[in-house]
Amino acid sequence: MSLKLMMPDLFKTIAFRLTLWYAGIFSVSSCVAFALFYFLATQTLQEQTDRDLLEKARYFSTVIQRNGIMGASKLAVIEAQAAGEKRIFFRLLYPNGEVFASSHMSYWKDISVDLDAINTLSHTKGHVFTTWLIRPNDQKARVLYSFVAQNVILQTGIAMDFQSKFISAFKTVFIAAMGFIIIFSAVSGLFLSRKALSGVKAITRTANSISAANLEKRVPVTGNQDELDLLAHTVNRMLDRIEALIQSIREMSDNIAHDLKSPLTRIRGFAEIALINMDNIDNYRGMAANTIEESDRLLDMINTMLVISKAEAGEGEFFYKSVNLTAMVQEAWDLFVPVAEDKCIDFTHEVPAHVQIEADAKMLQRAFANLLDNALKYTREKGRVHVDLRSETDGFVYIRVADTGPGIDSACFEKIFERFYRAESSRTSTGTGLGLSFARTVARQHKGDLIVTSQLGKGSVFTMKLPYRNVQII
């Protein structure tokens, strides 16, 4: 495996992307919180300033009522001096904007009389606020226009220095805090994503360390029942299946090698005998006949394997036509009568007249013959084998082969249908271990099944179930 595959590009890793997301979301949320705080704070400060200005206007109004215009003019100078002439100013205006009294205005010379504001004020008869920028130090000033007596307008402005100080302090805090937040969120994001993905690393490590030779390794499961645990379970289940598959492939290839070896060794033996006795023509005849027989057995085995493999891969070549099942069972039974007689087996059958289905006759014959062959092969002398054919109302036709043979351990009910499986006790009798696998494949290819019921020491019943769908009973 290349190093590039094992060490992914840092920028493409999920950990890096998660860190980026984490830092991004954290920083954006912090920015939003800061912006909200900034907006509320400046708003509150401005409202406080506006309230102060309105308070001044009310004071001027009272003074005019008591001491007249002159009193207000003096108040403008005194008030400005008391608060600081760079902090506050007062102008008293006629409604046409003409200034008739003011505090010391050298600092505030940039702020003229805003005729638009006066115009608006004349219409609303309330008060109007404006905001100005005082050069050269770009300080903001809040200015109020308000009627303090009939035909007397007070223009008063206040430096928003507190707000400016707040903004500059806020900027410093904001930059420092954001720097800290970005670094903190990136570090904690990296830590969290690494912690969250540590399980993935363990899975990757295990997957990398697994080879055909050590398939027994498994991903560690933490028991947290989280997504990574689920993934680990899934990977482990997959590894179990792969291991079982490789094991069965291994067993199958061992069996194939073994089953091919014996007939080939026999063929070689026949040829050797013929070579040693070159003069005897009968040896040649014997060798040819035996070679043909062994070759037929080999071909039969290979063909059976091919039929099973193709059917399992969904590529089975089955040719369906109308088959008289009654006749087929009867003929097969007839064929096996001599074998049964040889072993003194009570071989009986019971078939209704003319059961006809759509099937591949050749395949079905071979499958059924395998069942009969097994029943007669594994049943001891003087035993019983019974065959019957029934069509049921559940939509299936049942061909049953029941014997009084040795029976099969229930733990092996599935195993006997595996390719090349032969029970230990059956090794002494002839066979390839393909008969039942073939018969079940054929039944399933017909959308039916092959089922076994058995009791050790009492006997077995193999039932081939074929669908009733395309069945005709005449």
Q: Is 196 in the site for ligand ADP (CB under 6 A)?
A: no
Q: Is 189 in the site for ligand ADP (CB under 6 A)?
A: no
121 neighbors 153 (Cβ within 8 angstroms) = yes
Q: Is 404 in the site for ligand ADP (CB under 6 A)?
A: no
Stretch that binds ligand ADP, among 25-33, 172-180, 266-274, 417-425 (CB under 6 A): 417-425
Toward ligand ADP, which CB reaches closer, 172 or 430? 430
Toward ligand ADP, which CB reaches closer, 64 or 439? 439
User: What's the closest the beta carbon of residue 318 comes to ligand ADP, in angstroms?
Assistant: 20
Per-residue x/- track, 372-391, ligand ADP (CB under 6 A): --xx--x-------------
- Report how far apart, in Å, the C-alpha atoms of 472 and of each of 75, 390, 391, 395 are: 121, 13, 10, 11
Q: Is 304 in the site for ligand ADP (CB under 6 A)?
A: no
Q: Is 432 in the site for ligand ADP (CB under 6 A)?
A: yes
Q: Is 360 in the site for ligand ADP (CB under 6 A)?
A: no
359 neighbors 323 (Cβ within 8 angstroms) = yes
Per DSSP, the three-state class of 1 is coil
137 neighbors 86 (Cβ within 8 angstroms) = no
235 neighbors 207 (Cβ within 8 angstroms) = yes
First vs last Cα of the chain: how many Å apart? 67
The correct pick among 189, 383, 406, 448 for binding ligand ADP (CB under 6 A) is: 406
Toward ligand ADP, which CB reaches closer, 132 or 438? 438
The correct pick among 19, 103, 304, 370 for binding ligand ADP (CB under 6 A) is: 370
The correct pick among 431, 451, 467, 472 for binding ligand ADP (CB under 6 A) is: 431
349 neighbors 325 (Cβ within 8 angstroms) = no
Using CB under 6 A as the binding criterion, the count of chain residues that bind ligand ADP stands at: 21
User: What's the closest the beta carbon of residue 208 comes to ligand ADP, in angstroms?
Assistant: 40
> Who contacts 109 (Cβ-Cβ below 8 Å, separation ≥6)?
none
Toward ligand ADP, which CB reaches closer, 69 or 256? 256
Stretch that binds ligand ADP, among 128-136, 265-273, 360-368, 370-378 (CB under 6 A): 370-378
Q: Any alpha helices (H) in 210-322, and if so which ranges?
A: 227-276, 281-312
Stretch that binds ligand ADP, among 103-111, 225-233, 330-338, 434-442 (CB under 6 A): 434-442
Stretch that binds ligand ADP, among 22-30, 247-255, 346-354, 402-410 (CB under 6 A): 402-410
Toward ligand ADP, which CB reaches closer, 15 or 408? 408
**Which run of H or E residues covers position 382?**
none
Which residue has the CB atom at the shortest distance from ligand ADP?
431
Q: Is 259 in the site for ligand ADP (CB under 6 A)?
A: no
**Which run of H or E residues covers position 391?**
strand 384-391
Full DSSP string of 352-371 = -S-EEEEE-HHHHHHHHHHH
CA 421 to chain centre: 37
Per DSSP, the three-state class of 401 is strand
The correct pick among 435, 440, 446, 465 for binding ligand ADP (CB under 6 A) is: 435
* Structure letter (DSSP) for residue 12: G
> Who contacts 437 (Cβ-Cβ below 8 Å, separation ≥6)?
308, 417, 418, 419, 420, 421
CA-based nearest residue to 357, from 387, 381, 324, 329: 324
Q: Residue 328 has which token pair?
A: 């087929």
The correct pick among 403, 446, 448, 465 for binding ligand ADP (CB under 6 A) is: 403
User: What's the closest the beta carbon of residue 401 comes to ligand ADP, in angstroms?
Assistant: 8
Toward ligand ADP, which CB reaches closer, 358 or 373? 373
Q: What is the spatial distance between Cα 374 and Cα 405, in angstroms, rounded to a whole number?
A: 10
Give residues in contact with ligand ADP (CB under 6 A). Answer: 370, 374-375, 378, 403, 405-406, 408, 416, 421-423, 426, 431-437, 460
